[in-house]
Amino acid sequence: MSVYTQLTDDQFAAFCQSFGVSFARAIPITQGIKNSNWFIQTTDDVDGTYSYVFTLFEERPPADIEKMAVILNQLNGKLPVAAPLAVIESNGSRTDGDDKRYVIHYEDKAITLVPCLAGSHPEQTTQAMCHDIGAALATLHETLQALQPSEQYGVPLYPWSDVRDREMQFMPGDEGKLMSDIWRAYSELPLDTLPKGLCHLDMFADNTLWNLQKGEARLTGLLDFTEVSVEHYVMDIAITINDFCTTWGGAEQGESVNFDRSKMAAFLQGYESIRPLNGEEKRALPVMLAKAAVIFWLLRLNVIHYNRTEGRTGDNIMVKNPDLMKRLAAYHWAHVEKSQNTVFVLLSKPDNQIVGVFSSITQAEQAHDHLTNTNDFTIETYTLDQLA
């Protein structure tokens, strides 16, 4: 489990009382690699049940968590989110409107208490679930446009280029080249033309909850809004697709990485039912998928780095395998490279039979000019994956 800061029952009781909650027991939560989390059982809960999630944010400053609380309140009613409880003031009242406080400070760290949401994390996803999470992400993007200026609510993006430069010093040559190639392709995208706004940036399946009881999966919770930042919407899309549309094999499956393009199609259909993508976003998506995998490859390497430098050890530290994201990045990059290999195809009219395939337009035009009746032939441009 990932619990970095230890608290006593007396501390839990005092903090919970500040939110108007009567504490009975704290149960550590095993998921997550950045914060310390517990389920809180109140004096009104029966054994085995709990009403709240208590989070101590290990890295984010309290001001960032206050912004997160505003974001969750904006989404509340549109999406299944757990908005943080307001702190009870010394006179026993909760403040109203913009004066509400949602964060307690403890050793320069932020603490929040939020209601538990029903449901469970899915072990596997389906096309229907991918469709639904696509629609939910689009709703999130649309709803948060009301918070302006968006930079005031989003936290700064993490300096992943610094992590890249540090980690590449220790990488084998093929891994370093993969990372460099993807980063270069990303930087060459028309980034200034891609729509941006507040994005979740960590919408993995284990940050969602679903009702899976009746053979139909219904989305019941979206979790972990600590990374909400101003970013290109298509990057948020790519991050979510990478997890929801990939089957991650366990140790018994050799930790395989199997990306499902039919699930991606379902996700995009769901997303575009709320917010259609423009042409530039669609063209950028293949590279964004590779770059998103690189970011989470670096994130997991960064966790290992800080666990080592800060002496974090023991069974209560969970580290996700960075190689899985490296393999996913390689998969996406192979598709990008294939799509970038353009060929020029000479076709006969009207049946569109292939007469010849050429690596340059000059070669195709020369072949075209040698034909007796050039009006009966045309030259079309294809990528190799289209031709296949």
Distance of CA 97 to the CA centre of its chain: 30
pLDDT digit string (tens) for 22-62?
Answer: 999 999 987 666 789 999 999 999 888 899 999 999 888 88
Q: Give residue for tokens 């917010």.
A: 275
Residue 315, classed as helix, strand or coil, is coil
Q: What is the pLDDT of residue 1?
A: 43
Q: Give residue for tokens 């960032």.
A: 64
The whole-angstrom separation of Cα 72 and Cα 66 is 10
Tell which wins on pLDDT, 383 or 159. 159
CB-CB contact of 178 with 333 (8 Å): yes
The whole-angstrom separation of Cα 310 and Cα 296 is 21
Which helix or strand (DSSP H or E) is residue 267 part of? Answer: helix 261-272
**Axis-axis angle for helices 322-340, 173-187 (nearest 10):** 60
Name the fold adopted by 127-340.
Aminoglycoside 3'-phosphotransferase; Chain: A, domain 2 (3.90.1200)
The whole-angstrom separation of Cα 301 and Cα 158 is 14
Whole-model pTM? Answer: 0.79
Which helix or strand (DSSP H or E) is residue 73 part of? Answer: helix 62-75
Q: Which CATH architecture has domain 9-115?
A: 2-Layer Sandwich (3.30)
Q: What is the pLDDT of residue 182?
A: 96
Cα distances from 64 to residues 19, 80, 112, 152, in angstroms, run 19, 21, 12, 10
The whole-angstrom separation of Cα 317 and Cα 305 is 13
pLDDT digit string (tens) for 223-239?
Answer: 989 889 999 999 999 99
CB-CB contact of 208 with 223 (8 Å): yes
CB-CB contact of 340 with 318 (8 Å): no
Cβ-Cβ contacts under 8 Å for 383 (sequence gap 6 or more): 338, 339, 340, 341, 342, 343
Confidence of residue 355 (pLDDT cuts 50, 70, 90): confident
Query: Is 50 exceeded by the pLDDT of residue 218?
Result: yes
Average pLDDT of the segment spanning 194-210: 96
Q: Which amino acid is at 260?
A: D
Q: Which of 339, 335, 333 is nearest to 175 (CA)?
A: 333
Tokens of 320: 């996700």
Which helix or strand (DSSP H or E) is residue 293 part of? Answer: helix 279-309
Instruction: Look at the alpha carbons of 60, 144, 264, 219 in this order and tell me if their dihedral is positive or negative.
Output: positive
Cβ-Cβ contacts under 8 Å for 151 (sequence gap 6 or more): 230
pLDDT digit string (tens) for 298-347?
Answer: 999 998 887 778 776 665 556 788 899 999 999 999 999 887 777 788 88
Letter string b/e over residues 315-341, b meaning 16 or more CB atoms within 10 A of that residue's CB: eeeeebebebbbbbbbbbbebbeeeee
The CA-based angle 3-30-167, given to 5 degrees, is 70
The whole-angstrom separation of Cα 244 and Cα 23 is 36
Cis status of the peptide bond prior to 172, with omega within 30 of 0: no
CB-CB contact of 53 with 29 (8 Å): yes
CB-CB contact of 322 with 164 (8 Å): no
Q: Which of 29, 27, 31, 26 is nearest to 10 (CA)?
A: 26
The whole-angstrom separation of Cα 240 and Cα 236 is 6
Query: Is 50 exceeded by the pLDDT of residue 142?
Result: yes
Q: Give residue for tokens 């690189």.
A: 294
